[in-house]
Amino acid sequence: MVVIGPSAGRRFLVPLRVADERRVLKLVNYRSESGTRVGLVRGDLVFDLRASSAALGFGHPDLGDLDEVLAEGALDELVSAGRKLGSLEGGTPIAKVKLLAPVLRPEKILCVALNYVSHGKEGSVAPPAEPYFFTKFRNALVGPGEDILIPRVSEKVDWEVELAVVIGKTGKYIPKDAAMDYVAGYAVSNDVSFRDLQFPPGWPKELNVLGQNWVKGKGLDTAFPLGPCLVTKDQIPDPHNLRISLSVNEDVKQESTTAEMVFKIDSLIEYISGGITLRPGDIISTGTPLGVAVFSGQPFLKPGDIVDATIEGIGTLRNQVRAE
């Protein structure tokens, strides 16, 4: 099951601020009998972009996924076409299609450590003086409904709900005041972590001179669920004022707002683009609030668990856990 709208029965810190999330244009990749398709979501229905291009006035009907839309520089045209979605009849119930990650072939997956005040406090670590990035790779990327694997090499598999920023155009040495021009939109990500691999033996009393093992602790297969859709930046006027939460088997583990970010999105883009060329489809995962298992004493993930990561205005990314 994949939830695009708000989740029923979930408690939040503040009342819902988005009046009607069903009116928000959401873009998805999904699998059909004919292969991968771009879908435009209206309420509980998904419309095949290729089949709807003529009616919507979209001039690139052959683009096969959102990666190609971004690479072609056609996102603005697609957003404009999406404004006509209300005039279309038909559509396929979202529950009947297999959703894929909204970005399938990112060149870079860039993750920010300790970017929420509460997460730093729960780990007894002060906020860094500048953004601290680590990376994941495509092997970690999975979409909505795909399994999170508990690998043979780890018994402490943890969760971290995060707001993912998808880059929309190429840029390098991007100034802060222009940074948001490079954002295509937003998705929900889960920075799955393998704590017995991330932290050296004897941690926290004993520290490895080389620091944490970021590759094995963060980069194993299925360690980066992403979805359930891409919401373009025009649909979310303030990405730093969204409710963010995660539950395991409907038990809320994390609950906060993106207002907690130490470094805002524009600062993150300015920093990471210094010497690194950002390209369409690159992902910046912006950090997590308190409530992760390793610091809260909660049980780590086990086979059969259902993980729901939710961000206001975007939706819920649901993944099941299974043993490798």
Q: Where are the domains of the chain?
A: 21-100, 109-323
∠ CA 108-113-118, rounded to 5°: 140
CA distances (Å), origin 74, targets 66, 126, 166, 259: 10, 42, 15, 31
Q: Does residue 1 register a pLDDT over 60? A: no
> pLDDT confidence of 14, banded at 50, 70, 90?
very low
DSSP state of 199: S
Residues 6+ apart with CB under 8 A from 170: 277, 278, 279, 280
In Å, how far are 61, 74, 171, 179, 208 from 270, measured between CA atoms?
34, 24, 10, 6, 31
- Lookup: tokens for 4: 């695009």
A 10 A CB-CB count for 221 gives 16
Q: Is a pLDDT exceeding 80 seen at residue 21?
A: no
Q: Which residue has the higher pLDDT, 16 or 40?
A: 40
pLDDT of residue 22: 55
pLDDT in tens, 111-168: 999 999 999 888 878 889 999 999 999 999 999 999 999 999 999 999 999 999 999 9
Report how far apart the first and last C-alpha atoms of the chain are (Å, whole number).
Answer: 21
pLDDT at 41: 95
User: Model confidence over 50-94: pLDDT tens digits?
Assistant: 999 999 999 999 999 999 999 999 999 999 999 999 889 989 999
Higher-scoring residue by pLDDT: 83, 15:
83
Do residues 238 and 155 touch, judged by C-beta distance below 8 A? no
Which residue, among 120, 151, 123, has the nearest Cα to 263 in the 3D structure?
120
Q: Could you tell me what percent of the chain has a pLDDT over 90?
A: 82
DSSP notation for 217-283: HH-STT-EEEEEEEEEGGG-S-TTS-EEEEEETTEEEEEEEGGGBSS-HHHHHHHHTSSS-B-TT-E
Determine the pLDDT at residue 33: 84
Identify the pLDDT of residue 6: 38
- Residue 172 has what pLDDT? 98
Residue 148's pLDDT is 98
Q: Kindly report whether the peptide bond that precedes residue 204 is cis, defined as omega within 30 degrees of 0.
A: yes
Average pLDDT over residues 231-254: 97
Strands 109-113 and 283-285: parallel
So what's the pLDDT on residue 9? 33
Chain position carrying tokens 């771009």: 38
Give domain 109-323's CATH number out of 1.20.1250.20, 3.40.50.2300, 3.50.50.60, 3.90.850.10: 3.90.850.10
Cα four-point dihedral sign 162, 222, 280, 23: negative
Residue that is written with structure tokens 């190609």 in the block: 68
The region, left, alpha or beta by phi > 0 then psi within -120 to 50, assigned to residue 143 is beta
Q: Per-residue DSSP letters for 66-84?
A: HHHHHHHT-HHHHHHHHTT
